[in-house]
Amino acid sequence: MNNDRNSVLIHENQETVWNAITNDEIISKWYAPGSKWNIPKLQVGEKAIFVLMPSAHNNLKENESIPMSFTIQEIIPYERFSYSSDTDKLVFTFEIFPESEGTRVSINMDGYELSLANLKACLEGKELPYT
pLDDT at site 2? 44
pLDDT at site 1? 42
pLDDT at site 43? 98
In a domain, 30, yes or no: yes
In a domain, 45, yes or no: yes
Give which of 33, 19, 1 is closest to 107, Cα–Cα: 1
Give the total number of structural domains in the chain.
1
pLDDT tens digit string along 46-73?
Answer: 999 999 998 888 889 999 999 999 999 9
In a domain, 61, yes or no: yes
For the chain, 131 residues long, the average pLDDT of each consecutive 10-residue run is 75 98 96 95 97 89 94 98 96 96 96 95 96 88
Please name the helix (run of DSSP H) or strand (run of DSSP E) that holds residue 114, with its range, or none: helix 113-123
Distance separating alpha carbons of residues 4 and 83, to the nearest angstrom: 22
- Name the residue range of residue 29's domain: 7-123
| Cβ contact 94:31 at 8 Å | no
Q: What is the CATH number of the domain that holds 66?
A: 3.30.530.20
